[in-house]
Amino acid sequence: MRAILVVNPQATSTTAGGRDVLAHALASQVKLEVVETDYRGHALAVARDATRDGVDLVVAHGGDGTVNEVVNGLLADGPGAPVPALGVVPGGSANVFARALGVSRDPVEATHQLLSAIESGRSRRVGLGLADGRWFTFNAGLGWDADVVATVADRRGKQTNALLYMRAAVTCYFRPRSPRLPLTVHVPGEEPAEVRMAFVSNTDPWSYLGERPVHLNTGSSFERGLGLFALRKLSLPLVFRHVRQALRAEAEHRGKALVKYDDLAKLSVTAEEPVNFQVDGDLIGRRTHVDFTSVPDVLTVLA
């Protein structure tokens, strides 16, 4: 089996020692090449070339941004082409995709899980989301959450952690980076709904706050369609209520201001002026229109 290990040395939890242990362990079972990324988009390019070169497995060692780049590289030629399997060894601060798959946050334990999957041939097929031509593994959104991502991105050099994201969320709520523009959600067969934020999920949980999962669309999974969680207004009592519900083990979001759907094949979100747009916690840019599509059973993951 030919494999490529893609390592992001700048990720929160990756170390040279950990990389070497992982590489040595993988090399005992596969013909391995190791690539360290050194610029934005490097992991995507490596995974794209690996796909075209007929590599069997690409392992992403880094955070959710690294995983997202690798996935977009694997599927750069479309879902119909032969695609290598994906392995993930977490190295970031949140590692949402890996944790949703049941992969340990401990890189050593995650390596053992991956080696076991390789040895036994254990794998699973997962569905992904596609938004404005960009694949996402666990969530995407426009407005407030993307503003938070943009704020955190402006603070590169600081250790990324749950506290930093919490502070950014509070800052963006009370002191928005720009006027909070209304969004319009379009769900096939339903009347358009004007909202103030729109989160799209490909699985549950939507994200993690440290050790605690954040649940928005509990009906979402890698085997179902997309989930939509949107609020018509962002009053402080309303936001606080839904945050409190999201941190419960059995989240039950209700209310007249809530626009919520599970298992959607497609939807779109529009704005009169460009707003920030993020996928898998990575700021993509500003958009006035984004189409979201669920693509089932599109990727093989060793987990």
Q: Is residue 23 within a helix (H) or strand (E), and if so which, with residue range?
A: helix 16-27
Residues sharing a CB contact under 8 Å with residue 96, sequence separation 6 or more, in sequence order: 64, 137, 138, 139, 205, 207, 208, 280, 281
Q: Assess whether 143 and 232 both reside in one domain.
A: yes
Residues sharing a CB contact under 8 Å with residue 242, sequence separation 6 or more, in sequence order: 231, 253, 255, 258
User: What are the tens digits of pLDDT across the range 77-113?
Assistant: 998 889 999 999 999 888 999 999 999 999 999 999 9
Q: Assess whether 44 and 171 both reside in one domain.
A: no
User: Which of 122, 154, 172 lies at the terminal end of a domain, its last residue?
Assistant: 122
User: Which of 92, 122, 152 lies at the terminal end of a domain, its last residue?
Assistant: 122
Q: Assess whether 101 and 179 both reside in one domain.
A: no
Q: Confirm whether 130 is domain-assigned.
A: no
Q: Assess whether 46 and 170 both reside in one domain.
A: no
User: Which of 74, 96, 122 lies at the terminal end of a domain, its last residue?
Assistant: 122
Q: Assess whether 209 and 99 both reside in one domain.
A: no
Bigger pLDDT: 62 vs 169: 62
CATH number at residue 83: 3.40.50.10330
Q: Which domain holds residue 239?
A: 136-297
CB burial string 285-296: b at 16+ within 10 A, e below: eebeebebebbe
Task: Give dist(CA 184, CA 232) in Å, integer.
Answer: 10
Q: Confirm whether 221 is domain-assigned.
A: yes
Query: Which of 147, 137, 89, 139 has the alpha carbon at shortest distance from 114?
Result: 89
Q: Assess whether 170 and 262 both reside in one domain.
A: yes
Bigger pLDDT: 51 vs 165: 51
pLDDT number for residue 160: 67
pLDDT number for residue 158: 52
Q: Confirm whether 131 is domain-assigned.
A: no
Contact between residue 270 and residue 287 where contact means Cβ atoms under 8 Å apart: no
Three-state DSSP at 185 gives strand
pLDDT number for residue 159: 58
Q: Confirm whether 129 is domain-assigned.
A: no
Is residue 13 over pLDDT 70? yes
pLDDT number for residue 192: 98
Counted domains in the chain: 2
Q: Assess whether 12 and 53 both reside in one domain.
A: yes
Structure pTM? 0.92
Is residue 157 over pLDDT 70? no
DSSP-derived secondary structure for 126-147: EEEEEETTEEESSEEEESHHHH
CATH number at residue 201: 2.60.200.40
Mark residue 106 as left, alpha or beta (left: phi above 0; alpha: psi -120 to 50; beta: remaining): beta
Task: Give dist(CA 26, CA 22) in Å, integer.
Answer: 6
Q: Confirm whether 127 is domain-assigned.
A: no
Q: Confirm whether 128 is domain-assigned.
A: no
Task: Give dist(CA 227, CA 221) in Å, integer.
Answer: 9
Q: Assess whether 172 and 42 both reside in one domain.
A: no
Mean pLDDT of the region 264-289: 95
Q: Assess whether 234 and 146 both reside in one domain.
A: yes
Q: Assess whether 101 and 171 both reside in one domain.
A: no
Is residue 254 over pLDDT 60? yes
pLDDT band, very low/low/confident/very high, at 252 (cuts 50, 70, 90)? confident
Q: Confirm whether 165 is domain-assigned.
A: yes
Instruction: Average the pLDDT over each of 96-100, 234-238, 249-253 and give the range with the smallest value.
Output: 249-253
Q: Assess whether 116 and 140 both reside in one domain.
A: no
DSSP-derived secondary structure for 193-234: EEESEEEEESSSSSEEETTEEE-S-TT--TTS-EEEEEES--
To the nearest whole number, what is the mean pLDDT of the chain?
92
Q: Confirm whether 302 is domain-assigned.
A: no
Is residue 156 over pLDDT 70? no
Q: Assess whether 19 and 117 both reside in one domain.
A: yes
pLDDT number for residue 251: 75
Using a 10 angstrom Cβ sphere, with 0-12 exposed, 13-18 middle and 19 or more buried, the burial of residue 211 is exposed
The CA-based angle 74-48-117, given to 5 degrees, is 45
Task: Give dist(CA 63, CA 84) in Å, integer.
Answer: 20
